[in-house]
Amino acid sequence: MKILSLFILFTLFNYSINATKLYRGKASNTFFGYSNVHNFTGKVNSTPFKVNLEGGLLDFSVSFPIIEMDTDNSKRNRQMQGMFAQKKFPKVITKFTKVSLKKLLSTKEFTQNFIINIRAKDFPATATFKNIIESKKKLEFDVECTLLLRKIGLRPPSMMFGMVKVKNRVDTKTHFEFKKSALAIIKEKLKKTIKK
């Protein structure tokens, strides 16, 4: 009777979880820019976001405030904000859809197409998922991507009357951390109890 009750409860949780946000996410992005004089690195954290799971596939959109992108150089930061037209379009948004949870948990590295939204326009891009670590309460991984500024509607800025020119290529590395919701943790505990 106890096993039957647990099975019914587990089934109900399975049903509710299919339409429930299983994870709460945050991301920290590091981007690498290049110029004809020197290279530079910048960082920005995302705003908190939620992750949807349906049919074993994850969907999540991540927003990065442009005003918080920091290259450790105030003048360069202002030029970058101008390049993005930050006052009119304050965020860069990345949209990931149909990311296989099974692949994420069982593969060391894989590529996935996604959408990057810049200045209210969507552009296709490809990312590599790697360094995947799962624990009882969270899932962590890195996403690496190379972007060509002109292909995503941006014009590389220049400084010192054009003597210093930023190159077209930008490499990015984003560390994702998904904290499991209470429902997901309870589901795992129920599953282990039923197996016993």
Query: Tell me, what's the pLDDT at 61?
Result: 97
Q: How far is CA 166 from CA 35, 36, 174, in A?
A: 4, 7, 21
Tokens of 70: 């920091």
Q: Per-residue pLDDT tens for 125-157?
A: 999 999 999 888 899 999 999 999 999 999 887
Least Cα distance to 30 among 133, 115, 152, 142 occurs for: 142
Q: Which regions of 104-189 does DSSP assign to beta strands (E)?
A: 110-118, 121-134, 138-148, 158-159, 164-180
What pLDDT band is residue 62 in, cutting at 50, 70 and 90? Answer: very high
* Dihedral sign of CA atoms 93, 135, 32, 168 in order: negative
Q: Which pLDDT band, with edges at 50, 70 and 90, does 80 fall under?
A: very high
Distance, in Å, from the CA atom of 38 to the CA atom of 31, rounded to the nearest integer, reads 15
In angstroms, the Cα distances linking 188 to 57, 79, 165, 192 are: 18, 48, 53, 6
172-196 per-position pLDDT tens digit: 999 999 998 755 555 554 454 445 5
Report pLDDT digits (tens) over 97-126: 999 999 998 999 999 999 999 999 999 999
The H or E element spanning position 91 is: strand 91-100
Asked if the model's pLDDT at residue 30 lies above 90, the reply is: yes
Reduced to 3 states (helix: H, G, I; strand: E, B; else coil), residue 152 is helix
For 157-177, the pLDDT digits (tens) are 766 545 557 788 999 999 999
Average pLDDT in the chain: 83
Residue 83's CB is within 10 A of a number of other CB atoms, namely 17
Query: Taking each helix axis from N to C terminus, what angle separates 2-17 and 182-195, rounded to the nearest 10 degrees?
Result: 150
CB atoms within 10 A of CB 67: 13
Report residue 23's pLDDT band, with 50, 70 and 90 as the boundaries. Answer: confident
How confident is the model at residue 21, as a pLDDT? Answer: 53
pTM: 0.81
Residue spans per domain, the chain = 1-20+182-196, 21-180
Return the CATH architecture of domain 21-180.
Beta Barrel (2.40)
Strand 121-134, strand 138-148: pairing: antiparallel
Structure-token pair, residue 188: 């795992």
